[in-house]
């Protein structure tokens, strides 16, 4: 009986903490203010953006909000997505870009048209110019050098829009070419 009481106390405690966290988020957004923007290249905001569930004892779970910087999560999303894009270029397999690009976005539609075409794989060297985050999307401006397997390279300047998925991962929504600007 004591074990069952402890388990229920843990469930109730986790529910209360989660409810408070959600309530605080709703109250913060009800004020009509957007979260702070991350406008400075190389900087990052430190608002919680993911929820992790870990087991501390058999049959129990604890919910913890991660304090990882949102700016760094966006940067990781860009690097991982461009690496996946390089693999997709060589294979034509949509599975390479799945989970790195938003399937509802315009860039995914381009991938669907190119699927099955096999070209040359590449790696992307990214030099960040600016990053702006408004909570619902991020805009990442960068100079990117694509280096193909044979050593040929191509330089572009892209504005990449990312959006968070329900798990807190930032996925590329769209890419705009600013190479001539």
Q: What integer pLDDT is reported at residue 98 of this predicted model?
A: 97
According to DSSP, the residues that pair with 174 across neighbouring strands are 161
112 CA to centre of own chain:
21
Which tokens in the block code for residue 126?
């990214």
Q: What is the mean pLDDT of residues 118-131?
A: 94
* Residue boundaries of the structural domains of the chain: 2-65, 70-177
* Pair 77, 172: CB distance under 8 Å: yes
The answer to whether residue 55 scores a pLDDT higher than 80 is: no
Residue 76's pLDDT is 95
- Quickly tell me which residue has 């990882």 as its tokens: 68
Segment among 20-24, 100-104, 116-120 with least mean pLDDT: 20-24
Average pLDDT over residues 119-137: 93
CA 48 to chain centre: 13
What's the pLDDT score for residue 67? Answer: 41
Q: What is the mean pLDDT of the chain?
A: 72
Domain 70-177: CATH architecture, name and number where available: Roll (3.10)
Q: Do the Cβ atoms of 173 and 105 come closer than 8 Å?
A: yes
pLDDT at 135: 77
Q: How confident is the model at residue 180 (pLDDT cuts 50, 70, 90)?
A: confident
Is residue 37 predicted with pLDDT exceeding 90?
no
Q: Is the pLDDT of residue 49 over 70?
A: no
pLDDT of residue 93: 96
CB–CB of 157/142 below 8 Å? yes
Is residue 5 predicted with pLDDT exceeding 50? Answer: no
pLDDT score of 30: 35
Under the banding of pLDDT at 50, 70 and 90, the label for residue 53 is very low
Give the 3-state secondary structure of 70-125: HHHHHHHHHHHHHHHHHHHHHHCCHHHCECCECCCCHHHHHHHHHCCCCCCCEEEE
């Amino acid at each position: 009986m004591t074990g069952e009481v402890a388990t229920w106390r843990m469930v109730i405690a986790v529910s209360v903490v989660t409810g408070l966290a959600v309530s605080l988020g709703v109250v913060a957004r009800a004020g009509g203010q957007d979260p702070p923007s991350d406008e400075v290249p190389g900087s990052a905001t430190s608002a919680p953006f993911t929820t992790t569930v870990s087991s501390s004892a058999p049959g129990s779970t604890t919910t913890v909000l991660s304090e990882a910087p949102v700016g760094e999560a966006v940067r990781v999303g860009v690097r991982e997505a461009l690496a996946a894009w390089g693999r997709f270029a060589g294979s034509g397999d949509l599975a390479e870009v799945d989970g790195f690009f938003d399937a509802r976005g315009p860039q995914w539609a381009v991938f669907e048209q190119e699927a099955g075409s096999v070209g040359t794989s590449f790696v992307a060297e990214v030099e960040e110019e600016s990053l702006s985050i408004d909570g619902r999307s991020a805009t990442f401006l960068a100079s990117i050098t694509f280096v193909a397997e044979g050593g040929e390279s191509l330089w572009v300047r892209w504005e990449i829009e990312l959006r968070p998925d329900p798990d807190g991962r930032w996925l590329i929504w769209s890419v705009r070419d600013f190479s001539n600007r």
